[in-house]
Amino acid sequence: MGAPVTIFVTTSDIEASVVAALLESHGIQNFRISGNPQAILPMAVNSLGDIQIAVREPEAEEARRVIESHREDVGARVVRLRDEFEEIQARIGYRFRDRGLLEHALTHRSRAAEDASGGVADNESLEFLGDAVLGLVVADTLFRQYPASNEGQKSKIKASVVSTQSLARHAEAMGLGEHLILGRGEEKTGGRFKPALLADAYEALIAAMYLDGGLEVAETFLRRELKEALDAGITSADYKSALQERLQAMGLPLPEYRVTGEDGPDHRKQFTIDVVSSGEVLGYATGKAKKEAEQEAARLALERLNRSR
């Protein structure tokens, strides 16, 4: 078989994962090892923080050739192995001082679950913090921008702006799904395109920016990202009322909202809601709260009715 030979060294877990997957796709067995090439482990990092990828000696030359030939095209997306975060940083308009925070924000629990060492942390704790930062910035903006609006009106706007579907659309616009670090199972089931997963990563990204650069950095990003939705204000916040008025004008029955699915633990539950009129599903959406999902389902129903005019 031959002794293991180190053929690639990096400080980035995502880069190591990309290279390992690349070699596996070419039928080359590989290992992550510590600074001691004799101590083969599922994943180990030496005292300098380097992650080493090693292969058996007879396959070393072929492994190096594969890595070199794919430095500009790895997996389903174009990426230079040393600059895997350049594109997303350019899209968000912020360069991280600690790129480990960005990597943490992009790591889904499915990837952490597959790591035998326990050294990979998922983004759920960052998502929790990002949700709080997002809520603060949106509430502060609404307080200043709509001083004459009552609490109920501002709450409706906030619910619309921070809904799962709204955040997922922002994540899609910046191509966030392309950069997620997923486990094999989540990758195979289309995790890069799931609204709930994209929204969670978006909130984790907000938290990472907050931790790396402070509230001002996160606030600047969010005010730019959410400006259009916040400026639209009350006119677009209550889609349920707008849908009801539209159906009445068309002589159709009032809309009904039906819970068709629940997913996740009690503290992180996601609800799927269908909006129905005359027995026909006009739209459906998923959200962290039933009211949030109902608003998004109503918005999609209105879009569908507008297209059919």
**Residues carrying an active site annotation:** 131, 203
What are the start-end ranges of the H helices in the chain? 13-25, 60-69, 86-92, 99-105, 109-113, 124-145, 151-161, 164-173, 184-188, 195-213, 215-225, 227-232, 234-237, 239-249, 290-307
CB 32 within 8 A of CB 52: yes
Sole residue written with tokens 């809904």: 163
CB neighbour list of residue 230: distance below 8 Å, 6 or more residues apart: 138, 141, 142, 145, 157, 161, 223
Which residues are paired to 271 by β-bridges?
262, 287
- Round to whole Å and give the CA distance between 219 and 227: 11
